Amino acid sequence: MFNPIKLLVIFSLVLASTLASADPFSPEWNWENKKTHGPVKEIVTISPKHGNIAEYFAPNGRKTRKIIFDKSNKAQYTTNLTYNKNGDLCKITFSIPYSKEAMYVETAEYKNKGIISSISNLRNGKTSSSKEFAYDKNGLSSIIIAMGSRIMTWKFKFSDVGNLAESALSYNTKIIGRSKYIHDKHGNPVSITTFRNGKKTKTIAVKYKYDNKGNWLKKTETVNYYKNNKTFKKYTLTKERKIIYY
């Protein structure tokens, strides 16, 4: 039986790859709290270089708000999450603190509980992009992305345990990018490899440090960029999190 969590968990993985240039939807639709363990109240991702990110959760486990801070710890952007009567994330509002107008809004329609049929991006009350979700007997099979006259299609393959194994992005039926994924026992990605025109362009190797509940506290990503199958750029990015429980 198809697990709807599988649908939501893939979003951050796809957005982490070079296919993310399409910017199909906010990574909030990943619903990151679905991968947390225990009664999480608050998660702070620490980044002295770019500013911290604070995420807040209700007692029922739903993420309700995210705030992005600058290096001086001043709030820069706020994200509020709204749920429907079935408990599904149905609306995300992005705004600047103390502003009366939202920067933009994303809304979702569902076929059934947990099964998204479409996501729309609204700017100034008008739809700027839309995404239609298609399913087969194994679950989510593709997402069709319409951004003005541009039509792109994402296709997915999953492992036997329900983790994302491959994704491919097509433009006008031509595949322009592909990614492959490997996960650890917690369901977090430890390896992401991206390809363009059949050639490897980027690899991400990830190591985690977990707390006693199975939530990661430290994540180290080693990123390699390739040209003609040779590394021409490499860097390491480390993130740490502080987690507060109810």
**Is the per-residue pLDDT at 74 higher than 70?**
yes
Who has greater pLDDT, 193 or 148?
193
Both tokens of 196, joined, read: 């363009």
Q: What is the mean pLDDT of residues 213-241?
A: 93
Residue type, 157: K
Q: Is 124 exposed, middle or buried (0-12, 13-18, 19+ CB in 10 A)?
A: exposed
How far is it, in rounded angstroms, from Cα 18 to Cα 25?
15
pLDDT band at 113 (very low <50, low <70, confident <90, very high): confident
Residues 6 or more apart whose CB falls under 8 angstroms from that of 53 comprise: 44, 45, 47, 66, 67, 68, 69
Domains of the chain: 4-245 (2.40.160.190)
- Per-residue confidence at 126, pLDDT binned at 50, 70, 90? confident
Average of pLDDT values for 218-227?
A: 95
Q: Output the pLDDT for position 35.
A: 67
- Is 8 a residue whose pLDDT tops 70? no
* Structure confidence at residue 53 (pLDDT): 94
pLDDT in tens, 143-156: 998 887 888 898 98
Q: Is the pLDDT of residue 70 over 50?
A: yes
Predicted model pTM: 0.82
Above pLDDT 70, what percent of the chain? 86
